[in-house]
Amino acid sequence: MLFRNLKLVNYVVFGRGSFNQLDAILAPQRKGDAPMIFLVDHFFKGKALPNRIPLRGTDKIIYVDVTFEPKTTQVDALAQSLKDEFGTISGVIGIGGGSAMDLAKAVGLMMNNPGSSADYQGWDLVQKAGVYKAGIPTLSGTGAEVSRTTVLTGPTRKLGMNSDFTPFDQIILDPELTKDAPVNQRFYTGMDCYIHCIESLEGTFLNEFSKSYGEKALQLCQEVFLGNKEWTEVHDDKLMMASYAGGMSIAYSQVGVAHAVSYGLSYLLGTKHGVGNCIVMNHLEEYYPAGVAEFKRMVAENNIDIPVGICNGLSEEDFEKMINVSMGMKPLWENALGKDWEKIMTREKLRALYEKL
């Protein structure tokens, strides 16, 4: 048995207003005149937050369009433009949800690795450390702030650059930054965390390490999404730590059915990760009976709409594509259903599940 030697984020700061420490945190990481590049979620363009970014010298803010999930082409173009403009940079700071943070991780890696980011989609293909990378979440749930992957849609697949070079050097967890998240988006991304917990805790890869984080994250999700009348600062604080702990839980286990199926949706239809997971979770009673029942209570109590009928009218070829992408997620299926998963989740069964969504 080979135990995973888990690479973690190097530095973590947590607290309301901790964003104000960014300048001091970055100072020792600056390499001469090479700038720090801030990849900021386009939602914040024209808002107050960018005025608080500690720009020095030739530092630059680049607003990133996260309407669609990050693509390898987008990463390559960003990295190339930075090389053309600056040669070298001191670091990349991703400020936003999972999309902006993943872009920052990938661009940081591509500053020092040749070729296209598509060449590194997979496990441990990245050869060299990237530049300094920091992540500052403005939405809670994905766990992208702690993970060793950056999920990219490439020419042939949606797959992460999973490597020990991928985790951030620094994360700043300031729950104040999440306060303006729209209710639906906050829920969808929050449910990503809830689903991480269920898939980790109900999976065959479970161990005490994953369990200890997963149980805490699950409890925080329950406190946040059940039995509340109104959303408060405490909810933002708790959800940010739920995201962190949920990410730590899957880092030492794996996700499961909802993620495996939702990857097919996002590859074919561009369905975003959070809402895609919710669409799938809604129909997974067979695999996660208690988790799905509680998920439905959360949906109802928070008055959230989960889209239905998104696979209506798809062609035979479309279903085949989604099934191929989903079936390719072997570790996820194995975690969910055990070593003999292929006997349980047949193509026909998966097809029937997609038809329900």
- Interface contacts to ligand NAD, rule CB under 6 A: 41-43, 66, 69-70, 96-100, 102, 138-139, 142-144, 147, 149-151, 177-178, 180-182, 185, 189, 192, 272-274
**Comparing C-alpha atoms, which of 308, 309, 282, 310 is closest to residue 296?**
282
The β-bridge relationship of strands 91-96 and 11-14 is unpaired
Torsion sign (Cα): 115, 120, 124, 129: positive
State in angstroms the smallest separation of the CB of 277 from ligand NAD: 9
The residue (of 90 and 142) whose beta carbon lies closer to ligand NAD is 142
User: Cα–Cα distance between 170 and 13 in angstroms, integer?
Assistant: 8
Told to check if 192 binds Zn ion by CB under 5 A, we report: yes
Please choose, out of 42-50, 120-128, 187-195, 197-205, the segment that lies near Zn ion by the rule CB under 5 A. Answer: 187-195
**Comparing C-alpha atoms, which of 293, 290, 289, 257 is closest to residue 276?**
257
Please choose, out of 102-110, 189-197, 220-228, 315-323, the segment that lies near Zn ion by the rule CB under 5 A. Answer: 189-197
The residue (of 138 and 282) whose beta carbon lies closer to ligand NAD is 138
Question: Which of the listed partners (Zn ion, ligand NAD, none) does 326 bind, with a CB threshold of 5 to 8 Å by partner kind?
Answer: none
State in angstroms the smallest separation of the CB of 45 from ligand NAD: 10
Question: Which of the listed partners (Zn ion, ligand NAD, none) does 110 bind, with a CB threshold of 5 to 8 Å by partner kind?
Answer: none
- Matching residue, tokens 């993970």: 147
The residue (of 35 and 96) whose beta carbon lies closer to ligand NAD is 96
**Comparing C-alpha atoms, which of 161, 86, 99, 87 is closest to residue 129?**
161
Question: Which of the listed partners (ligand NAD, Zn ion, none) does 163 bind, with a CB threshold of 5 to 8 Å by partner kind?
Answer: none
State in angstroms the smallest separation of the CB of 149 from ligand NAD: 5
CA distances (Å), origin 236, targets 13, 101, 128, 246: 16, 18, 36, 15
Told to check if 102 binds Zn ion by CB under 5 A, we report: no
Output DSSP code: residue 81: H
| Rg from Cα positions in the chain | 20
